[in-house]
Amino acid sequence: MRNKFAKRASLVKSSETREILKVTERPEMISFAGGLPAPELFPVEELNVACEAVLKVDGPASLQYSTTEGYIPLRNAIIKRMDAIGIQAHLQQILITSGSQQAIDLTGRLFLDEGDTIICESPTYLAAVNAFKVYNANFVEVEMDEDGMMMEALEKQLQENPQAKFIYTIPDFHNPTGRTLKLERRKRMIELASQYDVLIVEDNPYGAVRFSGTALPPIKHFDTEGRVIYLSTFSKIFTPGLRLGWICADEVFIEKYVAFKQTADLHSDSFAQRITAKYMELYDIEAHIEKIKAVYKERCTTMLTCIDQFFPKNISYSKPDGGLFIWVELPASVDSSKIFVECLKNNVAIVPGIPFFPNGTQKNTLRLNYSNTTKEQIREGIKRMGEVLHHELKK
């Protein structure tokens, strides 16, 4: 048979992280590779109660087709939570999506023509890169430091790429680096976006998972022109399996997103939406998030302490105040895919940094996840990694 695939089929490979995750399913493996929330924290009992209540009260409606925009009580609950972090939105500005991953994909469909330019952090979220690659986008990477994307570098890129469509940014506990964009830079980013007339896609799945320091307002908080498209999700504060995220944006954008979502899946799972809304009606989700933060704080602190103890001293790493990830920078000559292979031999899984750079630079980095391993596993895994690193860095 002749090749029947569309040209775009060759633009995206299956995510390397997903391939790595397959290996991590082996029981003997200590995995710092994925970005999985701790499953023991999922509110299973409470969801059982919420589920029963939904079926009892709205059984048929909860199993019927429903509106694309999403279940109104859920959208209202989202509006209330967003108000608490400084985003004022009304119902027509919220669209429920099937995870924020769908919001990213719809963003690509809606805004990207072939060859369009996206400005993003260097590195950035791998699955967003792949989603945007489908539309044959170009990526302009902007350097980061410990305080997130650097604004001088952003301005330079905006000058050099005046046709850029949007800045894609993960300001809080960035994936993969765990870094957070500092306050002045948030304000500056809005100014620059306005000056150079680009949109900002603020992808914020981790902002609510802050376990140290003071919360910062989202970039959307400073948006007076409807320039920021804000994406978030229940995946890290509730459960990823229900696949519920949302877009908060100006109505003109939401109307288009709705039309595009209709072509993708008509609407997100109505049963999941009702269960989530019911959970929030019956229980205190904020108290639940506090529990998640306490566990992640402990795991993150354990990992940082062990890195300090077991890794060679010429390695630098981020010290996140929230989220799920630590970013490790090895000496420039070290290829982290080699470290990845050696770690696997020792039953430790990590993700080499290279796929997080859309243009494929920087081989000497790697990402560690701490949310889905116990303190004991973290200690043992980082100790084994330390041995690998001492050995490889001596070569």
Question: Which residues from 171-200 bind ligand PMP, rule CB under 6 A?
Answer: 175
Q: Judged by CB, which is closer to ligand PMP: 178, or 245?
A: 245
Q: Judged by CB, which is closer to ligand PMP: 203, or 329?
A: 203
String marking each residue 228-247 x if it binds ligand PMP according to CB under 6 A: -----x-x----x----x--
String marking each residue 244-263 x if it binds ligand PMP according to CB under 6 A: -x------------------
CB of 344 to ligand PMP, least distance (A): 22
Window contacting ligand PMP (CB under 6 A); options: 96-104, 246-254, 293-301, 378-386: 96-104
Number of chain residues interacting with ligand PMP (CB under 6 A):
13
Among 68, 93, 101, 130, binds ligand PMP (CB under 6 A): 101
CB of 384 to ligand PMP, least distance (A): 25
Q: Judged by CB, which is closer to ligand PMP: 233, or 270?
A: 233
Among 108, 148, 178, 205, binds ligand PMP (CB under 6 A): 205
Q: In three state form, how does the secondary structure of the chain look? A: CCCCCCHHHHCCCCCHHHHHHHHHCCCCCEECCCCCCCHHHCCHHHHHHHHHHHHHHHHHHHHCCCCCCCCHHHHHHHHHHHHHCCCCCCHHHEEEECHHHHHHHHHHHHHCCCCCEEEEEECCCHHHHHHHHCCCCEEEEEEEECCEECHHHHHHHHHHCCCCCEEEECCCCCCCCCCCCCHHHHHHHHHHHHHCCCEEEEECCCCCCECCCCCCCCHHHHCCCCCEEEEEECCCCCCCCCCCEEEECCHHHHHHHHHHHHHHHCCCCHHHHHHHHHHHHHCCHHHHHHHHHHHHHHHHHHHHHHHHHHCCCCCEECCCCECCEEEEECCCCCCHHHHHHHHHHCCEECEECHHHCCCCCCCCEEEEECCCCCHHHHHHHHHHHHHHHHHHHHC
CB of 101 to ligand PMP, least distance (A): 3
CB of 35 to ligand PMP, least distance (A): 4
Question: Which residues from 42-61 bind ligand PMP, rule CB under 6 A?
Answer: none
> Would you count residue 100 as binding ligand PMP (CB under 6 A)?
yes
Window contacting ligand PMP (CB under 6 A); options: 58-66, 94-102, 108-116, 186-194: 94-102
Q: Judged by CB, which is closer to ligand PMP: 179, or 379?
A: 179
> Would you count residue 203 as binding ligand PMP (CB under 6 A)?
yes
- In the complex, which residues of this chain contact ligand PMP (CB under 6 A)? 35, 99-101, 125, 170, 175, 203, 205, 233, 235, 240, 245
